[in-house]
Amino acid sequence: MTAQQTPAPGADAHTASRPGGLQPILEARAVTKHYAMPGETVDAVRGVSFAVMPGEFVALMGPSGSGKSTLLQVLGGLDQPSEGEVFIEGEPISRLNDSQATKLRRDRTGFVFQSFNLVPLLDVTENVALPFTIAGQDPKSAELSARIKEVIASVELTGKERHKPDQLSAGEQQRVAVARAMVTRPALLFADEPTGNLDFTTGLDILNALWRACVDRGQTVVLVTHDAKAAAYADRVFVIEDGRVLDEIYLGRREDHAAAPLIGRLAQLGL
Ligand SMILES: Nc1ncnc2c1ncn2[C@@H]1O[C@H](COP(=O)(O)OP(=O)(O)OP(=O)(O)O)[C@@H](O)[C@H]1O
Ligand SMILES: [Mg+2]
């Protein structure tokens, strides 16, 4: 079965605005993304449709160059699709003007990237405070400084508040990036290979932080990875190949995050 041909079980629950029904927090409808290059067009994403329900943890898994990052950028409103539409909480994001799009990204989404993207001159607290600073809010106000403290504690960095990025390990730097993505309490957390620059054990801390965001705080997580052990944290895995959803694998919520069921299913698909 391919995700394009056959609706997923319960797919009708994914239709936006069903009376009394749950609305997807994120939906892609026939999304494509082309890049025009001299003498050629790169079809990075080719007709992707799926819906993510509030509080789900989903993974987009596929090989290098399969279009995962491009898809994530489009899903998160960092880039526009060439065709198709992305809906966040039922809002078609291409129809938002620039300031509405900025507000939606700022208030509803958080991003974590492979390369941490911290500001080298700022310490941990200041890096985590950045979304507030950028929005013109005072991170030293009682409410915001309490939130910053709390999120730093949640990624177990209490005591390192005054450290600059170059005074932290790689895993600690990525935990700062996770804290920064979570501090505004966004409904949707997007993470693109967040463990890609980390060793296995350190990577687990990051995956566990995303898992806690989902399980304890009900945040929806969209994780891009090429690694089945990371994807096994998800409730559902979309297998991406050549810009398409090749298959959708339902794992369910599992405290043990065992990768064997996913690896078994991928083997059946010849992956
Ligand atoms: N800005 C761009 N301009 C032109 N082509 C691009 C651009 N960004 C990505 N591509 C191409 O689009 C395709 C998908 O790239 P993308 O970065 O989405 O893949 P990926 O699955 O994230 O790969 P990786 O696992 O290596 O990060 C690739 O062929 C890539 O070369
Ligand atoms: Mg990528």
Per-residue pLDDT tens for 213-270? Answer: 999 999 999 999 999 999 999 999 999 999 999 999 999 999 999 999 999 999 998 8
The answer to whether the predicted template modeling score (pTM) of the entire model surpasses 0.85 is: yes
pLDDT single digits (tens) 128-182: 999 999 999 999 999 999 999 999 998 999 999 999 999 999 999 999 999 999 9
Q: Give the HSE-up count for residue 7: Cα atoms under 13 Å, Cβ half-sphere.
A: 9
Amino acid identity at 79: D
Task: Decide whether any atom of ligand 1 lies within 6 Å of the 37 Cβ.
Answer: yes
* pLDDT (tens digit per residue) in 42-84: 999 999 999 999 999 999 999 999 999 999 999 999 999 999 9
Q: Residue ranges of the domains in the chain?
A: 25-268
Classify the C-alpha dihedral 262-263-267-269 as positive or negative: positive
The answer to whether the beta carbons of residues 180 and 165 sit under 8 Å apart is: no
Q: State whether the beta carbon of 69 lies less than 6 angstroms from ligand 1.
A: yes
Sign of the dihedral through C-alpha 103, 30, 65, 239? positive
Return the CATH class of domain 25-268: alpha beta
Structure confidence by residue, pLDDT tens digits, 102-128: 888 888 999 999 999 999 999 999 999
Ligand in closest contact with the CA of 40: 1
| Cα 224 to averaged position of ligand 1 atoms, centre (Å) | 13
Q: How many CA atoms lie within 13 A of 95 on its CB side?
A: 8
Give me the phi and psi of 201, to 5 degrees please.
-65, -40
Of all protein residues, the one whose alpha carbon is nearest to atom 10 of ligand 1 is 44
User: What CA–CA distance (Å, rounded) separates 33 from 80?
Assistant: 8
C-alpha 31 to ligand 2 mean position (Å): 17
In the reported structure, the alpha carbon of residue 261 is separated from the centroid of ligand 2 by a whole-number distance in angstroms of 24
Closest CA to 70 of 82, 79, 62: 79
